[in-house]
Amino acid sequence: MPESPGGGDAGAPPQATENENPQTERTAAGPPVLSKNARKKLAKQQRFEAKKAEKKAAAKEQKRKEVERKRKEWEESLAGVSKEEKAKLIESRRNLRKERMEKRSLEKESKRDRLTVARERGQNVVVDLQFSHLMNPNEIHSLVQQIMYCYAVNGRCASPAHLWLTGCEGEMDSALKRIPGIDKWIIEKENRSYIEALSNRKEDLVYLTADSETVLEELDLKKAYVIGGLVDRNRWKGITLKKAEEQGIQTAKLPIGNFMKMSSSQVLTVNQVVEILLKYLETRDWKTSFFAVIPQRKRCQSDSEVNAEDIIIEAEEESEQNDDITSNKKICVEEVPSNS
């Protein structure tokens, strides 16, 4: 999923100046030009986008071929059989479809029930959408995709969180309104900011931000955790910390450093943070949650080596007990984390 930036209720939203933003330089003639570093970053991003588009097209083509293959297979199975057998095949296919639809509708119903319970007594997780003025259309699009993803993942959880989208105004609101079926989502969608919408619970608000000095130890059901709805590749470093401090609300960072080394910064995307919180709600274990969600490429090489080493040691211990090399090999292969 793509990455992304935030503004504030406390006065005017912070704006990046050229001095604050190392990506631009001013030429003698005047207009800002991209620095060498920023050009490199931009080229890297463009390569990434091109690759992503290529992958998407390939997946679409693969799907089309699969549908075509199945259609042919079906037609072949009907050809050359008697009229009665043909009718039987069609009937059994119809029944299978019906069963599948009933199963889907049951799943939908159970998802609605879980989300309704979460609305009453689930962990409140707020996405602060007051940063759209700091994002370009691609970044807003990317944030909308992340929000869709968060809603889908939350709906699949056995005990989902209760999601809030606050500060839904202007461009961000128009983009959200284009999501098919969003009006049926079981969430709180607010035009107001979280500080207004949850004004009676200001002391329970905790703004999650990688720049906080406080490390989050556990999730507290009484609190509402706020995530900055921003896709900025950390152009707006510190913006959410500044906002929360100006509003006088608590802040905390995820305890990533206690469990893994990251190859660059510890700033994650909105959907990764939501997924980590959901995984933590399920497991009450940060390490499991980080390893399940943070992609391999964001982790330090040494971190995965340490992890692989741990696994090999575990497997060796097991092998000593079992004296069974085959099962030892299997453990190594199966347990190396594969979520890159």
Ligand X SMILES: C[S@@+](CC[C@H](N)C(=O)[O-])C[C@H]1O[C@@H](n2cnc3c(N)ncnc32)[C@H](O)[C@@H]1O
Residues involved in catalysis: 232
Stretch that binds ligand X, among 3-11, 66-74, 89-97, 188-196 (CB under 6 A): 3-11
* Residue (of 281, 239, 243) closest to 122 by Cα position: 281
* Residue (of 339, 336, 301, 290) closest to 315 by Cα position: 336
**In this chain, which of 126, 227, 249, 278 binds ligand X, going by CB under 6 A?**
227
Chain position carrying tokens 């007990």: 321
* Contacts (CB under 6 A) with ligand X, residues 239-278: 239-240, 253-254, 256, 266-270, 273
Q: Whole-angstrom Cα distance, residue 291 to residue 114?
A: 26
CB-CB contact of 221 with 123 (8 Å): yes
Sign of the torsion angle spanned by Cα atoms 261, 265, 267, 271: negative
Is position 6 an interface residue for ligand X (rule: CB under 6 A)? yes
Stretch that binds ligand X, among 57-65, 181-189, 237-245, 301-309 (CB under 6 A): 237-245
* Residue (of 287, 238, 234, 239) closest to 264 by Cα position: 234
**In this chain, which of 237, 279, 298, 299 binds ligand X, going by CB under 6 A?**
237
Compute the least distance from the CB of residue 294 to ligand X, in Å.
Answer: 10
Compute the least distance from the CB of residue 150 to ligand X, in Å.
Answer: 11
* Contacts (CB under 6 A) with ligand X, residues 201-220: 208-210
Q: How many residues bind ligand X (CB under 6 A)?
A: 26
**In this chain, which of 236, 280, 290, 291 binds ligand X, going by CB under 6 A?**
236
Query: Cβ of 78: how many Cβ atoms within 10 Å?
Result: 13
Decide: helix, strand or coil at residue 241: helix
Residue closer to ligand X, measured from CB, 91 or 220: 220
Residue 82 pairs in a beta bridge with none
Binding site for ligand X (CB under 6 A): 3-6, 208-210, 227-228, 230, 232, 234, 236-240, 253-254, 256, 266-270, 273
